Amino acid sequence: MPEHYELPSSPGTVHWGYFDARLEPVLRINSGDRVTVHCVSGEPEDVPPDPSWVLPELREIHGRCERGPGPHILTGPIWVNGAEAGDTLEVQVIRCSLRQDWGWNLIYPGMGTLPEDFPEERRIYIPLDRGSMTAKLPWGGSLKLRPFFGVMGVAPSALRGRLSSMPPAEHGGNMDNRELGEGATLFLPVWNKGALFSVGDGHAAQGEGEVCLTAIETALSGTFEFTVRKDLALRFPTAETQSHFITMGMDPDLDVAAKQAVRRMIDLLANRVGLAREAAYRACSIAAELRVTQLVDGNKGIHAMMAKEMFSERPIFNAQ
C-alpha cells in the first residue's frame, strides 16, 4: 500500500539557494507514495518587522543554515526508491495551500525586466485572506490567489556540481510556471539515483512573465504523489494539466526558448500521439499557445500549451 508522509521545513530538512546531487536525502519513499511538504520563503531581508507574522522555523533556518548563491529555501531532497538516471519522475500536485496570511513582493536593483526604469530596492507586504483566497492589494482592490511552487526540481547531474537555485534548467528548478499548481502533473528527467526532489519558492499569485522579479512570495504546503516512470525518457521538464499538455523552453534568449518549447511540443505530439512531424508543426501553429513563463531568472522561459481537446484520445502520458 502506498504511504503518506509529512516533511516539515526545518534546518535539518532544507537547503538554501542551490541544487546539488551530493546532498543527502532527508526522506526516502517508494514510487506511488505521497508526501505533504511544508515550505518557507524569504531571506532575512524579506522578513516583515512584526515577529508575530513570521513562521518560527524560518528564523531558525536563517540562523542555522548555510546561505547558498540563490535566494530560495528548498525543502528536500526526497529520495524515490527505484529512480535511476534516464528515468522520468512523475510529480502530481495534489494539494497546494497557504501557510501564512501575508506575502511579499520585491523590486531589486539591476534585476527584473526593466532594471533601467526601476533602479531602487522596494519591498512591500501584501495581506492574504485564506478564507476568500484573495490578496488585498496596496493600490486598492483584490486579486484572486492561484498558489503554486516556483521551484520544483530534481538534483542536476553530479557532473554539474552545485548549481544556484536561480536559473531553471533541465533538472527543473526555478521554473516559475504558474500552470503547475494544484491538479497539474510535472514530469522531470532523472539525472541521479533516487531522483532527489526538492521544492520551495511558494507563490500566492503571479503574472505571466513575473516582470519585476518576484510574484506574491509566501510560504506554502504542498501534497505530491511521486511515480517513477520507466516508460518515459525525457530530457527536459514537461507537464500536463486537466486541459493541456505543456512543453517548456529555457534560455537567456527568449527566441531560443520559444524554439525549444515548440520543438519539444512537436516531439511530444510525434512520439506520444503519433502525428507526423509536419502535422505536429501545423498543430502547434493553429492551436498551441506560447506563453512567457518568466523573464527574470537568467534562463528566460517560454511554455507551449496544447489543448487536449485537439485529440480524440489522450494517451500521451499514460503508462504504455
Say if residue 207 is in the same domain as residue 71: yes
Say if residue 216 is in the same domain as residue 107: yes
**Could you tell me if residue 315 is inside a domain?**
no
**Could you tell me if residue 234 is inside a domain?**
no
Say if residue 188 is in the same domain as residue 49: yes
Say if residue 73 is in the same domain as residue 134: yes
Residue ranges making up the domain that contains 293:
243-310
How many whole angstroms separate alpha carbon 184 and alpha carbon 93?
6
**Could you tell me if residue 319 is inside a domain?**
no
Choose the final residue of a domain: 201, 229, 257. 229
Say if residue 105 is in the same domain as residue 159: yes
Count how many domains the chain has. 2
Please give the single-letter amino acid code of residue 197.
Answer: F
Between β-strands 27-30 and 73-81, what pairing exists: parallel, antiparallel or unpaired? parallel
Q: Kindly report the average pLDDT of the chain as a whole number.
A: 96
Choose the final residue of a domain: 205, 229, 253. 229
Give strand pairing partners of 36. 6, 223
Choose the final residue of a domain: 229, 256, 281. 229
Tell me the CATH number at 204.
2.60.120.580
Task: Note the pLDDT tens digit of each residue in 112-163.
Answer: 999 999 999 999 999 999 999 999 999 999 999 999 999 999 999 999 999 9
Alpha-carbon torsion 27, 32, 36, 37, what sign? positive
Which is nearest to 73 in space by CA: 13, 143, 3, 155?
13
How many whole angstroms separate alpha carbon 117 and alpha carbon 115?
5
**159: exposed, middle or buried (Cβ count in 10 Å: 0-12, 13-18, 19+):** exposed
Measured from the Cβ of residue 6, the count of other Cβ atoms closer than 10 Å reads 12
318 contact partners, CB below 8 Å, separation of at least 6: none
Say if residue 190 is in the same domain as residue 257: no
Tell me the CATH number at 273.
3.10.28.20
pLDDT at 51: 87
- DSSP-derived secondary structure for the chain: ---EEEE--STTTEEESEE-TTSPPSEEEETT-EEEEE-----GGGS-S-GGGS-HHHHHHHHHSPB-SSS-EEEEEEEEET--TT-EEEEEEEEEEESSSEEEEEE-TT-SS-TTT--S-EEEEEEEETTTTEEE-TTSSEEE---EEEEEEEPPPGGG-SEESSS-BTTEEE---TT-BTT-EEEEE--STTEEEEEEEEEEE--TB-TTB--EE--EEEEEEEEEESS---SS-EEE-SSEEEEEEEESSHHHHHHHHHHHHHHHIIIII---HHHHHHHHHHH-EEEEEESSSSSEEEEEEEEGGGSS---TTS--
Give strand pairing partners of 303. 248, 291
pLDDT at 319: 43
**Which residues of the chain carry a pLDDT beneath 50?**
315, 319-320
Q: What is the pTM of this model?
A: 0.96
Say if residue 202 is in the same domain as residue 97: yes
103, 145 contact by CB (below 8 A): no
18, 162 contact by CB (below 8 A): yes
Say if residue 137 is in the same domain as residue 262: no
